[in-house]
Amino acid sequence: MKHIALATAMMAATPTFADDRMTVILDWFVNPNHGPIILAEALGYFEDQGLEVEVVAPADPSDPPKLVAAGQADLAISYQMQLHLQVAEGLPLTRVGTLIATPLDCLLVLADGPVHDIADLRGGKVGFSVAGVQEALLTAILGAHGLSLDDIELVNVNWSLSPALMSKQVDAVIGAARNFQPHQMAIEGVPGRCFYIEEEGVPIYDELIYVANTDQMNAELLRRFLRATERATHYIVNHPVASWDIFKSTAAELDDELNAKAWIDTLPRFALRPEALDEARYARFESFLAEAGLLDGTRPVSALATNLGAEWPAGRSLPPLPRGTLPRLPAMGVSLPSLCCGGVKDGDIPWWPGSG
């Protein structure tokens, strides 16, 4: 799937105000990582925000941030690790939201192979795809176990991570997606095992983020987009099976064993508050890259990221609650156990007395 247009015209309901069009470029072809975007369209949440969203899957995964920087799209899905480097290079980009709030990269080895501990990589071969950043990750990981890059042989496997590992061309690969590659290998009968890089000396970071053009972004439009995807994320978390059924129904190629397994692993990693910004997280990773020699000095977080949630325009009222929102709890008569585990549905709970 190289290009998909998710039009709100698919929905029967008529929006209460004219739809604003916007373009979002994914980081790659549609997959479970993009669940909140696909569900926001399918459930009519973009329409509720008066948005007509065109979602484009790029031919080259390096293109999305460049296209946003050139003013050819409103948003791109990109990577926090890459954002630091792109801003340092002068691209007018800023993070405006988070899609996947935890690292997905891992150091992947064969489950029944010779590497039981990272220290076992001494004298071994490690496959990589992206020079610079992945070398910095490896430096931190190896350093936590008394090794350095001099103790291993780096092999550029050119994105062929799983095949290189399964064929034993290398002893490990860095940059494998923990929610995909291990499942892919298991399906093919060659189980793998992940070392989670944030447990091995790498600062925690946001894997997938929304980036906009610093000079041209429409903050109000982006807030509406993020509110819609936030609703979709909570729907996914609350209804994992139903949301998978909706997701896979949007394109035939999504309905397979790999995506089904990846869906389950990806759910807990979606950002529940996509607008929220952890400034310390960005500051730490900026320092990490500078210490690795990939940045010349450091930039303030304000040069890297925008907290749209903290910049609600003065004098503007908060947006109305979306349709389907649960009313507030009653003053009396409902015990907490009755509210858990799907025991209460929309409309089951009356309003607080006097709340209107």
| Residue range 108-133, pLDDT digits in tens | 999 999 999 999 999 999 999 988 99
What pLDDT does 1 receive?
A: 40
Residue 313's pLDDT is what? 52
Query: Rounded to the nearest 5 degrees, what angle is found at the Cα of 338, between the Cα atoms of 246 and 232?
Result: 25
Q: In this structure, which amino acid lies at residue 160?
A: S
Backbone angles phi, psi at 237, to 5 degrees: -65, -40
Q: Which of 210, 236, 224 is nearest to 38 (CA)?
A: 236
Q: In what order do the strands lie in the sheet with 208-213?
A: 51-56, 20-25, 75-79, 208-213, 93-100
> What does the block give as tokens for 10?
């698919």
Tell me what pLDDT residue 322 has. Answer: 52
- Residue 30 burial by Cβ neighbours in a 10 Å radius (0-12, 13-18, 19+): buried
pLDDT at 18 (0 to 100):
57
pLDDT at 179: 97
Please state, in angstroms and rounded to a whole number, the distance separating the CA atoms of residues 280 and 285: 9
pLDDT at 312: 53
Interval 290-321: pLDDT, tens = 999 999 999 999 999 999 987 555 445 445 54
**What element of type H or E holds 174?**
strand 172-177
Pick out the chain residues at pLDDT < 70: 1-18, 311-356
pLDDT at residue 309, rounded to an integer: 83
User: What are the boundaries of each domain within the chain?
Assistant: 8-101+206-310, 105-199, 327-356
Strands 153-156 and 125-128: parallel
CATH node for 8-101+206-310:
3.40.190.10
Question: Is there a common fold for 8-101+206-310 and 105-199?
Answer: yes
DSSP assignment of 261-326: HHHHHHGGGB-SSTT---HHHHHHHHHHHHHTTSSSS---GGGTB--GGG-PPTTPPPPPPPTTPP
* pLDDT at residue number 159: 84
Looking at the domain that runs over 105-199, which CATH code has it been given?
3.40.190.10
Where do we find the tokens 């494998």?
Answer: 176
